[in-house]
Structure 1
Amino acid sequence: MTDEVDVLIAGGGPVGLTARALLARWGVRTLLVEKHRELSPFPRSRLVNVRSMEIFRQLGIAATVRDRAFPPEFGRVRFRDRLFDPDLGSAAMIGVHAPIPDSPEYGVVTSQDRLEPTLLAAADTPVGFGVELVALSEEDDGVVAHLSTGEVRARYVIAADGANSTVRQLLGIDIDGPGAMARMTTVVFDADLRQWAAEQPAGVYFTATGMFAPIYPEGGWAWFVPTPAEPGDWKSLVTDAIGVDVAVKVLRVQQFVSTGFVASHLRRGRVFLAGDAAHTVPGLGGLGMNTGLAAVHNLCWKLAGVLHGWAEPSLLDTYESERKPVAHLTLRQAVANAHQLRRAQQRQDGELPWSERYFAQMGLVLGVDYVTTEDPGAEYTPTTEPGHRMPHLPLADGRSTLDAVGEWFTLFTPTPTVFHHGEWPVRVELLADQRQGALLVRPDGYVS
């Protein structure tokens, strides 16, 4: 522990851990504090989409995440009455079930408790588990954070401390959106279903009695179900929902509230909200965690620029102006997913409800536009217009254009050039073709 840092990160989930790893690459001094005494033992978020894997590629951990995840054939969903019943329908998760031409990476199905140790190991900066942030006071040149273990002074604070964020409440920031949508329960259990799952692979099995998900390639299951008024015996409930007489051992039960909101502000002074503290969506379609990862990828290079002196503090204002519209778009998509699932479970659609429509969200994953902030739609169309993610294109040496992006600005040009760039970090990437002009790309991979 230290009593003075550049950035204090509150919250040790995927978003906070990713922010820590990104800032470490920039040489920014950080301290991450997490009120729980260890990483979460629950599977929680289970889909790492293409864009998040591109971020992990930049951090050098994409291969590790992929090696610990399910194979691509599990990037599919199946829809049934009970787990062992025949399919009512099935759909591939686009960008997960198989590679796509728009990225050198593809998404993976994994579990949050399998992902977080990899993120924790991605940096060696200080982490305090069992340390709670209880109060904040801002000064002219920083923030004094009052922790359960003492005080820490930081130039800036990233609050990634969850949907019930203590920091958001301390700052008095309101939320917009539907709020609490459903009371849910996660039942983690063991049952010998490995051979059956290998023959009928899926990352998620939607049933009339809840959602089943294999947790790890080597075994383990989770059942996500609306919390019954009188739960009774969870072992019997799980066995009945499976649909066959199979030995079930319940390991853990966790109840939670599914919520949907966007904070009215993502920044107050020197404090920035991130992850579920900034925006929370229903966990259908794998949008929540991934949106938070993209947001801190947007934020961290800007913090590094201001802290290292090559960017004006006003650059930090663009975090909210660029990411808040994306959060609202994501919330609308996630709520639509939840309504579609509910209609399907109640058989309110005449056609099979489990079409590609549910997972046709590559436009939202890869196509967000920081200039117009318009809805990109379901499909992704590559473009080099300012405000869009730099498209994946092969370079002469076999790398992707995305591999030329890192802790610097990248100037793509076919013409060797010398230009004055002051103290800000920039690299020139020569293109072996006859096109003219140049393209400047930000450290987060967006065309500047």
Structure 2
Amino acid sequence: MAVQNFDMPLANVDTEVLIVGGGPVGLTARALLERWGVRVLLVEKHRRLSPFPRSRLVNVRSMEIFRQLGLATRITAAAFAPEYGRIRFRDTLYDRDFATAAMVGINAPVPESPVLGVVTSQDRLEPTLLAAADAPVRFGVELIDLTEETDSVVALLVDRDNGDETRVRARYVLAADGANSTVRQLRGIDTMGPGALGGVTTVVFDADLNRWCARQPAGVYFTAHGSFLPLYPEGGWAWFAPTPEDPARADWPGLVSRALGPSAEVRAEVLRVQHWVMNAFVAERLHHGRILLAGDAAHAIPIIGGLGMNAGVADAHNLCWKLAGVLHGWAGPSLLETYETERHPVADRTLRQAVANTQLLLQVQNRRRDQLQGAEAAPDRIELPWSEEYFAQLGLVLGVAYDSDAVLNDDGTPPEPPDSGTDYVPTAEPGHRMPHLWLRPNSSTLDTFGERFTLLTPDPARWERQAIAAAPWPLGVEALPREHIDFCDLRPHGALLVRPDGHIAARWRDHPPSDAALHHALTAITGSTSP
């Protein structure tokens, strides 16, 4: 990590992409764009990375993306062991579980992916993402105005320490500046959805809770008095609860200790307190001229189910190769329009799923409250209103299907999006994420994507000739073992064209229909004017 870059003077800076916001989404975009050779500047109004745990779950799809960036092993090493991939419901933290459920893809490997998601804290994840690239970052620098010009955007920035103002000219602006996005507000982009759901307080504290938790680990313990979350493998806790009416006068150590339960006899040592608003909305637009929204700026997702940050990482993964293509000249500007076409429906479905998750959680808590208030003794267990597929989200995580000009469907029929996130059925239909298939020991199909288009074919020699003629697009050819051709609905000379983000862009079931088939397909997919 080139620390000297972080303090570079901003006077008269030109860059290809200005990223506004230094959370996981902005930092992921910075790393992806640097891999593509794009000049990037990231600015973050806060003076340092957040010290709060915030997002807690890195799901399977995000870990696949981080595996492409070479970060998965490092992230896993700082995270909890797989047995923490579970939620537990208790009346108080010291009571027994009255319900529990596994986080699928977190608590144990799934055959649909070569990686395992993890429970970790955002303040552990962000330093790893920051160190993943050398592109310059400026903390304590706030965006205060934007002016769109014909071929660029001029951003007015202010240094929050000394008040100095600077103008930065960028070809594009990627707004990853959170639910209260300044960029979104400056462009007048409205939002759709319930909006603010209520105030929440996060209390980070130290306490010895091993006697109730060590033998029954979990990523989250839901209780009637708030949610308790272990923060790091070596210790530390967080308590999430509704913000009280007068938070400035609150006795936070006392509140946490009482929330633990009268029999706990534990005094919490409070370290940090953060008040925030849980939002639920999707921006009306994700693309405004040369400005693109990602992460919470594009969609604020309630925290139940851990979908929000992961949806933002997927935004960046979808967008960055498209930005690189336009900036490097092998894609037309129309390719960027497919970002909104593809990701806006996903944001809508993700918001609906998170709201459903919240309703499911309330069902459990309300049912338990009714039991405790009944005349008879409450049972030790209650049946959960969902399957073991933690809040029914695996299909939403891995089953995303895109329908846009950047996908050539076999017969003109758009891919079917999942009705819900419950089930994931791997498929090699265009528009879908290319399924994980082992090409050879320890090498997945997913390992062949990231910085180029990829042709997966059982007949590489035949397609190599097409690939050589496919300039200027970055393209590689990978042999697909014949044991997988039936699953991919290919014949011995067929091929799948997979985009850099791992989604299938086109499929030829048999040999190429013409010598220019691949060239024509890439021209159409990327909106290119190349001959």
Task: Answer whether TM exceeds 0.5 for this pair.
Answer: yes
- The amino acid that maps onto 2:114 is P
Give the structure 1 partner of residue 260 of structure 2. Answer: 242
Distance apart, 1:107 and its partner CA: 0.5
Give the structure 2 partner of residue 172 of structure 1. Answer: 188
Give the structure 1 partner of residue 480 of structure 2. Answer: 431
Distance of 2:450 and 2:498 partners within structure 1: 10
Distance apart, 1:316 and its partner CA: 0.3
Distance apart, 1:436 and its partner CA: 3.1
Distance apart, 1:344 and its partner CA: 1.9
Distance of 1:178 and 1:280 partners within structure 2: 10
Distance apart, 1:385 and its partner CA: 0.4
Distance apart, 1:297 and its partner CA: 0.3
SS in structure 2 opposite 1:118? Answer: helix
- The amino acid that maps onto 2:502 is G
Give the structure 1 partner of residue 452 of structure 2. Answer: 408
Q: How does 1:257-406 map to 2 (within 5 A)?
A: 257-347=277-367, 352-353=383-384, 355=386, 356=388, 358-371=390-403, 372=415, 374-377=417-420, 378-406=422-450
Match 1:121 to one of 89, 108, 131: 131
Distance of 1:69 and 1:388 partners within structure 2: 29
Deviations 1:149-170 (A, max 9, x none): 4011000000000000000000
Q: What fraction of aligned residue pairs are identical, expressed as a percent?
A: 65
- The amino acid that maps onto 2:102 is A
Q: Determine if contact 1:364/1:376 at 8 Å carries over to the other structure.
A: no
Deviations 1:284-337 (A, max 9, x none): 000000000001100000000000000011000000000000000000010111
Distance of 2:416 and 2:423 partners within structure 1: 16
Q: How does 1:10-89 map to 2 (within 5 A)?
A: 10-89=20-99
Between stretches 376-385 and 126-135, larger displacement belongs to 376-385
Between stretches 223-232 and 51-60, larger displacement belongs to 223-232
- The amino acid that maps onto 1:442 is R
- CA 1:330 to 1:130, structure 2 compared with 1: closer, same or farther past 3 Å? same
Q: How does 1:72-221 map to 2 (within 5 A)?
A: 72-148=82-158, 149-194=165-210, 196-221=212-237
Distance apart, 1:342 and its partner CA: 1.9
Q: So what's the TM-score if we normalise by structure 2?
A: 0.82
Distance apart, 1:247 and its partner CA: 2.8
Distance apart, 1:196 and its partner CA: 4.2
Give the structure 1 partner of residue 509 of structure 2. Answer: none
- The amino acid that maps onto 1:330 is T
- The amino acid that maps onto 1:430 is A
Which is higher, the Rg of structure 1 or of structure 2? 2
Give the structure 1 partner of residue 503 of structure 2. Answer: 446
- The amino acid that maps onto 1:374 is P
Give the structure 1 partner of residue 378 of structure 2. Answer: none
SS in structure 1 opposite 2:42? Answer: strand
Q: CA RMSD in A?
A: 1.5
- CA 1:388 to 1:379, structure 2 compared with 1: closer, same or farther past 3 Å? same
Distance apart, 1:354 and its partner CA: 6.1
Asked which structure has the greater RCO (Cα within 8 Å, sep 6+), the reply is 1
Give the structure 2 partner of residue 7 of structure 1. Answer: 17
Distance apart, 1:397 and its partner CA: 4.9
Q: Determine if contact 2:104/2:389 at 8 Å carries over to the other structure.
A: no
Q: Which segments of 5 or more consecutive residues in structure 2 lack a partner in the other structure? A: 1-7, 159-164, 372-381, 404-414, 486-491, 506-531
Distance of 2:208 and 2:385 partners within structure 1: 27
Distance of 1:441 and 1:354 partners within structure 2: 38
Q: Determine if contact 2:89/2:100 at 8 Å carries over to the other structure.
A: yes
- CA 1:398 to 1:248, structure 2 compared with 1: closer, same or farther past 3 Å? closer
SS in structure 2 opposite 1:199? Answer: coil
Deviations 1:2-40 (A, max 9, x none): 500000000000000000000000010000000000000
- The amino acid that maps onto 2:498 is V
SS in structure 2 opposite 1:347? Answer: helix
Q: Determine if contact 2:87/2:102 at 8 Å carries over to the other structure.
A: yes
Q: Determine if contact 2:253/2:267 at 8 Å carries over to the other structure.
A: no
Distance of 1:398 and 1:353 partners within structure 2: 37
SS in structure 1 opposite 2:281? Answer: strand
Between stretches 408-417 and 293-302, larger displacement belongs to 408-417
Distance apart, 1:376 and its partner CA: 4.5
Q: Which segments of 5 or more consecutive residues in structure 1 lack a partner in the other structure? A: none
